[in-house]
Amino acid sequence: MLSTSRALAVVWLASMAIATPGARQSTRPASLLLDHAYVHETRARGEKGDAAITAAISALEEDAKKALAIEPMSVMDKSITPPSGDRHDYMSQAPYWWPDPSKPDGKPYIRKDGQRNPEISKITDRDNLGRLGDAVTTLSLAYAYTGREQYATHARAPGGDHRNRLRRLRGGGGPRHRSRAAGR
């Protein structure tokens, strides 16, 4: 699974790499991740029947078909409300931090080496972000190597319901990271 920061970078870069309809008039989509000449050369080799390339593109398309079938994900999926009180906020928790049993509110959290806090399984944001990053990467690559518009379209708008939006920080930044162990 991709790390959260890498997944964010992939989602951002992939969204920048795939032009939105009517945004830029170009014969080829811009790519920030791959050398266009390399992609073009590889795609041409596949079209000419290079067995290794066609096998790799076929495997990529199988993965892309699975990515097309992924249900939309939302920051609203988690069963725990973040400390901010807004479920639109991205939430993560350090796996080895637990409520302090000697404090009425359990804060600040304490570290228990080697013991994963089961509360972490109720917070789906990190796993969903990783799945989204993987899906967008796969769909973007499938579009680059096949030219099939369905992959680009799905990579651009996987879910799209504004009620499921990730709340942006003032000034536009990325996900809001708030520790459940505030004060440590």
What residue ranges do the domains of the chain occupy? 4-79+124-164
- Phi then psi for residue 38, to 5 deg, are -65, -45
pLDDT for position 63: 95
Q: What is the pTM of this model?
A: 0.65
**pLDDT tens digits, residue range 62-80?**
999 999 998 888 888 888 8
118 pLDDT higher than 70: yes
pLDDT for position 121: 87
- Give the span between the Cα atoms of 173 and 99, in whole angstroms: 29
21 pLDDT higher than 50: no
Helix (H, G, I), strand (E, B), or coil: what is residue 36? helix
- Give the span between the Cα atoms of 53 and 125, in whole angstroms: 35
Long-range CB contacts for residues 94-97, cutoff 8 Å, separation at least 24: 94/179, 94/180, 94/181, 95/120, 97/180, 97/181, 97/184
pLDDT for position 72: 81
Q: What is the mean pLDDT of the chain?
A: 76
> Which has the higher per-residue pLDDT, 25 or 151?
151
Sign of CA dihedral 28, 34, 35, 37: negative
- Can you tell me the mean pLDDT for 123-141? 90
- Is the distance from CB of 20 to CB of 152 less than 8 angstroms? no
Number of helices (H) and strands (E) in the chain: give both, helices first.
5, 2
- Can you tell me the mean pLDDT for 85-95? 89
- Give the span between the Cα atoms of 143 and 98, in whole angstroms: 44
* In the chain, alpha helices (H): 4-17, 36-47, 51-68, 125-146, 149-156
User: Containing H/E element for 93?
Assistant: none
